[in-house]
Structure 1
């Protein structure tokens, strides 16, 4: 009986030992993926910002500028691209919508971002664009890979359509989560005018004919939860200028926008709660199940060996009791 139980425990130990690497190295890359149908939005605000009044072409202080960023997964497009890419793909149709304190549109810039569902590496396919301009991204955008590392990454900037390093600046704590802090500085760069302008009749083409150009610089900061690779908070010190040309009436430059853009508090709370939940799921695949099954396997193996040893070397039999002498009758 002991030997049979020992064999059963040994089989369970082997199963647990095999489950550990299978979960980490086989299941994790296949299960930890960005859903193709994911929808996400976030609202950012710039308090006491500077904004250009296109009616007067003068910069003025405003109490608030709001930026709404949406990411919407295109399942049909992803399935089509997967057939040629031979890997799981996510297609995000993104939109950055900027509105002034009066609620009117300042600019809107659409993007199509195509990437690997697990690694977040860009996937180049027809339709990849920023504001209608075809691009070929390198580096990451919006999200870090799962199990982010303490190192610099290449990060794509949609305004300049270029990729530059975003630097790891240390480990911090944010709302009870351990996060990696990253920072990127984009120097003053000439960038295209948005195709959607706030004044009817003004287009990038009409502005270009005046000789006026648009310039941009920013310092962006992200607090990234490393297990999920998801930013839990982000902010930018953002500046835009119009320079030269007849549109400015002889002035060398005018501020189009300047402000410190930060995530709105209710979206910070929602993002932190969502990341906490997803972090547990990723840890289950990378830590809890692999290490738990390995530990259980070792315990079962030890118990199996103990039972096997007892089955092979049973204890010495108890000494026989001496027979009592029978009484002798006279």
Structure 2
């Protein structure tokens, strides 16, 4: 009587075929759906450095002072799940040695808030859900897109109110992580007006005037983890000044800092988050597909051989 393939050989063949199908499925279907911006974020990043600021009580600029920028990002999970977008509320304070101990954003040297809404896969800005600012544009702000490329990105500068080109400047190491470095600058640009005493900007004969606010950034330097787009290190050099209406020179330095950089604690926290997120993406996008493909090939071949042998062994004659 003819023999049929054994259950073991069929099981091996079936498992092999399943794993061979699973490998490309992980790459082309699962990985893109895993590479999405998280919505349940609660992250604080801190920049510190030395600079100058305008003391409004003494009406003078104080040099050589410790400047601290603290940014808190909190995800609005309910709005994110309802809209299918990443909705993040952002609070940013600039503190001096006098305001930092107060631990109150309302009493900081400067306090701004925003509501950032982005597409969870592309990182592109989305205009919905009460976003602020409404003119937000660019490729990157709090993070870069997934699978960062060695090219120029448009980075949104909230103080400028516009996107700034950041150019790829090579790779660098941060605690075992290879990051892509992007650099750029912001030339002195008028960003608005502020009512001040005329004597403050060299117009003593006038009372209150609308002085021009100018902003520049002499050095933006970001290090980005390639797979996740997370910023693992950063340095900025903001300059904010006042000019008399129509003047070509600065009259007052409101804020001037050079190389305000991530604190060591912030850098470690960002690297840890990048390493964890990158590991998950590598698992589903590289490790599991490779293992599934290799194991599937072995099992399919073994199962196929056993099935063929079983069928050939069943052919005999009763002479």
TM-score (norm 1): 0.81
In 1, distance between residues paired with 2:261 and 2:8? 62
Match of 1:6 in 2: 9
The answer to whether the aligner puts 1:94 opposite 2:90 as a matched pair is yes
Match of 2:76 in 1: 74
Shift of 1:310: 3.2
What per-residue deviation string (whole Å, max 9, x for no partner) do you get for residues 60-107 of structure 1?
Answer: 214311111011111233244x2xxxxx21111111101111125110
Shift of 1:3: 4.4
Match of 2:62 in 1: 60
Task: Name the structure, 1 or 2, with higher relative contact order (CA <8 Å, separation 6+).
Answer: 2
In 2, distance between residues paired with 1:292 and 1:120? 30
Shift of 1:241: 1.2
Secondary structure at 2:283 match in 1: helix
Match of 1:298 in 2: 297
Match of 2:115 in 1: 112
Give the one of 35, 39, 42 matched to 1:36. Answer: 39
In 1, distance between residues paired with 2:276 and 2:16? 30
Shift of 1:166: 1.4
Shift of 1:113: 0.6
Alpha-carbon distance change, 252 to 148 in structure 1, aligned in 2, over 3 angstroms: closer
Shift of 1:186: 1.5
Kept in 2, the 8 Å contact 1:51–1:257? The answer is yes
Kept in 2, the 8 Å contact 1:51–1:60? The answer is yes
Aligned residues: 293
List gaps (5 residues or longer) in structure 2.
Answer: 101-107, 197-207
Match of 1:216 in 2: 215
The answer to whether the aligner puts 1:283 opposite 2:286 as a matched pair is no
Kept in 1, the 8 Å contact 2:136–2:156? The answer is no
List gaps (5 residues or longer) in structure 1.
Answer: 83-87, 198-208, 318-330
Q: Which has the larger radius of gyration?
A: 1
Give the one of 122, 126, 129 matched to 1:123. Answer: 126
Alignment of 1:299-318 (within 5 A): 299-314=298-313
Match of 1:103 in 2: 99
TM-score (norm 2): 0.83
Secondary structure at 2:223 match in 1: strand
Match of 2:169 in 1: 169
